[in-house]
């Protein structure tokens, strides 16, 4: 469903990604691991159309996305939940979800989708009128994911969904992602929380300084010395 080949991203003279390749199949949940500054967000932003690659191919269902604008990428079924969530704090949960239905591909069946999304996040169902700015970090993350789902995606991109959340709340967010995964939606997740993300994902890639330095099944990555060294407190 998604194939990335030799992707380069630069900011001025700085190279954030120096020729990265990866692939995600339909229905898979794939995680991208890496330390701060490894280039994980840049990669996700390029797939979401928020950052223009310097060169390389991002192919979705056989079509190159590298020069496609972000609003058109949403129409093709790719939804990005950005780091920091990008939700509207002064609007209610219901209004944030309504904004998610804006793409043409989301208009048909919006009501049924809203019901499904609220079933996935019962906590939001109880709080539809609440202003999002008054909610906890975990609830806000749920609103961001729920809004992205309202755009009727077939590929959901999540940038550090556990960022700034307490462990118990992270657990709740990942439990919701597990339920989303069971619906068959394809997930590509950037995470620093290696344990939670490898428990969810089937496969992953390790980025270091803008390059893929490791890849494999969740089990392989869990025991990869580079992952152990970088994240799990190994030596």
- Note the residues at the interface with ligand ATP (CB under 6 A): 11, 14, 16, 34, 36-42
Q: Contact, 45 vs 4, CB < 8 A?
A: no
| Rounded least distance, CB 24 to ligand ATP, Å | 18
Choose between 15 and 130: whose C-beta lies nearer to ligand ATP.
15
Q: Tokens for 223? A: 């025991």
Choose between 11 and 134: whose C-beta lies nearer to ligand ATP.
11
Choose between 42 and 96: whose C-beta lies nearer to ligand ATP.
42
| Rounded least distance, CB 224 to ligand ATP, Å | 18
| Rounded least distance, CB 182 to ligand ATP, Å | 27
Choose between 66 and 125: whose C-beta lies nearer to ligand ATP.
66
Sign of the C-alpha dihedral computed for residues 81, 86, 90 and 95 taken in this order:
negative
| Rounded least distance, CB 192 to ligand ATP, Å | 6
Choose between 2 and 38: whose C-beta lies nearer to ligand ATP.
38
Count of positions (residues) in the chain:
235
The residue assigned the tokens 């152990």 is: 228
| Rounded least distance, CB 39 to ligand ATP, Å | 4
Q: Can you tell me the distance from the alpha carbon of 35 to that of 206, in angstroms, rounded to the nearest whole number?
A: 9
| Rounded least distance, CB 230 to ligand ATP, Å | 12
Choose between 97 and 207: whose C-beta lies nearer to ligand ATP.
207
Choose between 9 and 117: whose C-beta lies nearer to ligand ATP.
9
Q: Can you tell me the distance from the alpha carbon of 231 to that of 235, in angstroms, rounded to the nearest whole number?
A: 10
| Rounded least distance, CB 165 to ligand ATP, Å | 15
């Amino acid at each position: 469903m998604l194939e990335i080949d030799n992707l380069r991203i630069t900011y001025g003279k700085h190279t954030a990604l120096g020729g990265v390749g990866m692939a995600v199949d339909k229905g898979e949940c794939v995680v991208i691991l890496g330390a701060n500054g490894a280039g994980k967000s840049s990669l996700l932003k390029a797939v979401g159309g928020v950052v223009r690659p310097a060169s390389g191919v991002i192919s979705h269902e056989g079509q190159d996305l590298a020069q496609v604008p972000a609003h058109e990428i949403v129409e093709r079924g790719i939804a990005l939940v950005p780091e920091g969530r990008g939700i509207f704090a002064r609007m209610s949960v219901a209004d944030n979800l309504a904004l998610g239905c804006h793409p043409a591909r989301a208009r048909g069946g919006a009501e049924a989708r809203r019901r499904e999304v609220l079933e996935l996040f019962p906590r939001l169902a109880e709080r539809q009128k609440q202003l999002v700015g008054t909610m906890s970090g975990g609830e806000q993350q749920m609103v961001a994911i729920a809004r992205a789902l309202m755009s009727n995606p077939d590929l959901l991109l999540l940038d550090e969904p556990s960022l700034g959340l307490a462990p118990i709340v992270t657990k709740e967010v990942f439990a919701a992602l597990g339920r989303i995964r069971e619906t068959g939606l394809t997930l590509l997740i950037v995470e620093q929380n290696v344990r939670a993300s490898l428990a969810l994902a089937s496969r992953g890639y390790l980025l270091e300084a803008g390059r893929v330095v490791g890849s494999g099944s969740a089990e392989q990555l869990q025991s990869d010395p580079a992952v152990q060294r970088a994240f799990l407190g190994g030596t």
